[in-house]
Amino acid sequence: MRIVFMGTPEFAVAPLEIMMRAGAGVVAVYTQPDRAAGRGRALAAPPVKTAALAWGLPVYQPASLKSATERETLARLKPDVVVVAAFGQIFTPTVLQVPTWGFLNIHPSLLPRYRGVSPVPAAILNGDTFTGVTILALDSGVDTGPILAQASVAVTDWDTTGTLTEKLSRTGGQVLLEVLPRWGKGELTARPQDAGKASYTRKVEKADGEIDWNLPATVLWRRVRAFQPWPACYTRWQGKQMKIIEAVPIDSQAERTGRVVPLAGDAAFGIETGEGILGVLRLQLESKRVMTSGEFVRGQRQFPGALLPS
Do 186 and 219 lie in one domain? The reply is no
Q: Are residues 266 and 295 in the same domain?
A: yes
Burial class (CB in 10 A: 0-12, 13-18, 19+), 254: buried
Nearest CA to 180 among 278, 82, 247? 82
Is the entire prediction scored with pTM above 0.85? yes
What's the total number of domains in the chain? 2
Residue 310: pLDDT band (50, 70, 90) is confident
* DSSP label of 275: B
Residue 307 in any domain: the answer is no
Question: Is 306 within the bounds of a domain?
Answer: no
Helix axes 47-54, 13-21, angle to 10 degrees: 20
Mean pLDDT (whole number) for 117-129: 98
High-pLDDT (> 70) share of the chain, %: 100
User: Looking at the structure, do residues 70 and 168 belong to the same domain, yes or no?
Assistant: yes
Residue 169 has pLDDT above 80, yes or no: yes
In a domain, 174, yes or no: yes
Dist CA 121 CA 126 (whole Å): 9
Give the C-alpha separation, 94 to 108, whole Å. Answer: 26
CATH of residue 213's domain is 3.10.25.10
State which of 169, 201, 233 marks the end of a domain: 201
CA 142 → CA 25, 98, 116, 196, 280, distances in Å?
27, 19, 7, 15, 38
Give the number of other CB atoms < 10 A from CB of residue 19: 20
Q: Which of 161, 176, 201 is the last residue of a domain?
A: 201
How far apart CA 44 and CA 306 sit, in angstroms, is 41
The Cα angle at residue 157 between residues 160 and 154, in degrees rounded to 5: 80
End-of-domain residue from the set 171, 201, 231:
201
Within a domain: 127: yes
Q: Give the separation between CA 216 and CA 272, rounded to whole angstroms.
A: 9
CATH classification of the domain holding 160? 3.40.50.170
Do 142 and 249 lie in a common domain? no
Asked, for residue 308, whether it belongs to a domain, the answer is: no
pLDDT at 43 over 90: no
CA distances from 53 to 16, 57, 294 (A): 12, 6, 43
pLDDT at 45 over 80: yes
Domain that holds residue 227: 206-299
User: Considering the domain boundaries, does residue 224 fall inside one?
Assistant: yes
Identify the pLDDT of residue 26: 98
With 0-12 / 13-18 / 19 or more C-beta atoms within 10 angstroms meaning exposed / middle / buried, residue 202 is exposed
Same domain, 110 and 250: no
Residue 88 has pLDDT above 90, yes or no: no
Please compute the mean of the pLDDT values over residues 76-88 and round it to a whole number: 97
Q: Are residues 192 and 223 in the same domain?
A: no
Give CA–CA dist 166/224, Å, rounded.
17
Residue 110 shares a structural domain with residue 247: no
Bridge partners, residue 29, by sequence: 5, 59
